[in-house]
Structure 1
Amino acid sequence: MYQTLEIEHHNRVATVWMNRPDVHNAFDETLIAELTAACEALDVDDNVRVVVLAGRGKSFSAGADLNWMKRAAQNGVEDNLRDARALARMLRVLAEMKKPTIARVQGAALGGGTGLTAACDIAVASTKAVFATSEVKFGIIPAAISPYVVRAIGARQSYRYFQSAERIDALRARELGLVHEAVEPEQLDAKVQEIVDALIQGGPLSQAAAKDLIRAVDNKPINDAVVEDTAQRIAGLRATPEAQDGLSAFLDKRQPGWLA
């Protein structure tokens, strides 16, 4: 079905493998379109609870394919704008999925690969992983990935790394907030599974609502409007069948319906 992706399903978890190992999973127009379509399809698949984004081979993703970028540089402004919008949309679709997403980063995640890592809800990296916002080395800027990277590491750190393009190892990435966990390579899959197991325990509608809640309150002043919005959100959610089942299951010492 896909030229650049492989999708594996196991126990309600979909693992989306970027499958261009010969070019370090760099993305071109085909991978961008296919990853967008895959995220949209998985987000409405009731059989999927968690989505893991991974890369075949040594690298997670080396970012944009340089041959694709070279072709784009020879095109006019309108063609470049179309490509840039497609990339920005891919990242947004990934970032705004209703389901929990995990980046499994085993190796290099450069440029757009750093952006994919930041766009996922959770990131787990091998200690062999390395990150960089390397775009200035090519005379461009990390425009499409910037909302997600700045959200992850903050403006202050972004001023440094967007301009210096320094390599960031996994432990430094964890310090910066780009990844949540940095583990030895042989422990990578076990750590991802540990987080998947925790995510499966939560209600799917409440997890989607939690993601929307974060976007609603992040960097907002705590004023009457924000306080009222949070009250409205919890009041509405408590009335849903999922919440009623979850609370009853806890009191009755049974599993909620979403674990059945």
Structure 2
Amino acid sequence: MTDELVHLAHADTADGRVATITLDSPHNRNALSRQLVTELLGHLAATADDPEVKVVVLRTAHRVFCSGADLSEAATAPMEEGARAVVELQRRIVAHPKPVVVALPGPVRAGGIGIVAAADVVVASTAATFALTEVKLGVTPAVISLTVLPRLTSRAASLVALGGEVFDGARAAAYGLVTTAVEPVELDAEVDRVVAALASGAPQGLAETKALLNRDLLARIDADGERLVELSARLFRSDAAREAMTAFLSRGR
């Protein structure tokens, strides 16, 4: 049997059950392979349907949260397939009836940033790093823009999307991409504090309040998702993108 890449665990607290979904695919830095995406979607569905679960925590077993698409599969799968998977992951988190909290200790890139932006609360380490490098590759952060752009201020969006430079957890908090950034040694304690506060809510109140908060974001995903999948695939297939990617890689970056 293939080892699972995403683990689901439960912990019962005084205020209800907390489900923890852990990405554990170190060989490719939690890249969004078919197996990882399938397992992650399955665990999100299971926690959504479990009436005992009050809060879902999404984290990594290692330092890197997610490196984006699994490039080893890119040559054998239609480009639209991977883009649609990222859209579906974002939608599943946004539409999830329970609060979803991301604990972010280290780097996150590409589709992983879309997952982070889809979550309700993100606690990041100041050592975590982010980058929207698509502009340097002749493409655009098409499908992750569904959740990323509504989180960022407009000025921050222009800076990070057009500049493509790496920024840290403190900057991500200032830009609106994450909720808060704390020193690495404080990450677990802050996640526990946030989760305890969320778990104190009544299930109906949590579900209805989340639906109210995410109504516009969910509508955006449903209205624009397929159009952005097509845009992403078209740009990645272009000669301009191939030339830019070759030049980018030749610089050893």
Smaller-chain TM-score range? 0.7 to 0.9
User: Could you say which residue in structure 2 is the equivalent of 1:5?
Assistant: 6
User: Could you say which residue in structure 2 is the equivalent of 1:200?
Assistant: 199
User: Could you say which residue in structure 2 is the equivalent of 1:109?
Assistant: 108
Q: What is the letter of the counterpart of residue 7 of structure 1?
A: L
Within the candidate set 26, 30, 36, 1:31 is matched to 36
Alpha carbons 1:25, 1:56 under 8 Å: kept: no
User: Could you say which residue in structure 2 is the equivalent of 1:64?
Assistant: 69
Q: What is the letter of the counterpart of residue 17 of structure 1?
A: T
Alpha carbons 2:89, 2:115 under 8 Å: kept: no
**C-alpha distance in 1, partners of 2:215/2:107?**
32
Structure 1 residue 217 displacement after superposition: 6.7
Tell me whether 1:128 sits opposite 2:127 in the alignment. yes
**C-alpha distance in 2, partners of 1:127/1:90?**
25
**C-alpha distance in 1, partners of 2:194/2:154?**
28
In structure 1, the gaps of 5 or more residues are 73-78, 219-260
* Structure 1 residues 68 and 154: alpha-carbon distance in aligned structure 2, compared to 1, 3 A threshold: farther
Q: Number of aligned pairs?
A: 212
Structure 1 residue 170 displacement after superposition: 0.6
* Structure 1 residues 58 and 217: alpha-carbon distance in aligned structure 2, compared to 1, 3 A threshold: closer
SS in 1 for 2:152: helix
Structure whose alpha-carbon radius of gyration is higher: 1
* Structure 1 residues 217 and 110: alpha-carbon distance in aligned structure 2, compared to 1, 3 A threshold: closer
Structure 1 residue 37 displacement after superposition: 1.6
Structure 1 residue 189 displacement after superposition: 0.7
Alpha carbons 1:36, 1:94 under 8 Å: kept: no
**C-alpha distance in 2, partners of 1:136/1:196?**
36
**Bigger CA drift: 209-218 or 81-90?**
209-218
Tell me whether 1:91 sits opposite 2:90 in the alignment. yes
In structure 2, the gaps of 5 or more residues are 218-253
Structure 1 residue 216 displacement after superposition: 4.0
- RMSD of aligned alpha carbons: 1.8
Alpha carbons 2:6, 2:22 under 8 Å: kept: yes
**C-alpha distance in 2, partners of 1:197/1:205?**
17
**Bigger CA drift: 20-29 or 63-72?**
63-72
Structure 1 residue 140 displacement after superposition: 2.8
Structure 1 residue 71 displacement after superposition: 3.7
User: Could you say which residue in structure 2 is the equivalent of 1:119?
Assistant: 118
User: Could you say which residue in structure 1 is the equivalent of 2:26?
Assistant: 21
User: Could you say which residue in structure 2 is the equivalent of 1:171?
Assistant: 170
Normalization by structure 2: what TM-score?
0.78
Kindly report which structure 2 residues correspond to 1:137-152, keeping only aligned pairs within 5 A, or say none.
137-152=136-151
Tell me whether 1:45 sits opposite 2:44 in the alignment. no
**Bigger CA drift: 122-131 or 155-164?**
155-164
1:202-236: per-residue Cα shift (whole Å, max 9, x none)? 11111111112123478xxxxxxxxxxxxxxxxxx
Say which structure, 1 or 2, has more relative contact order (CA 8 Å, 6+ apart): 2
SS in 2 for 1:34: helix
Structure 1 residue 3 displacement after superposition: 2.0
**C-alpha distance in 2, partners of 1:96/1:159?**
27
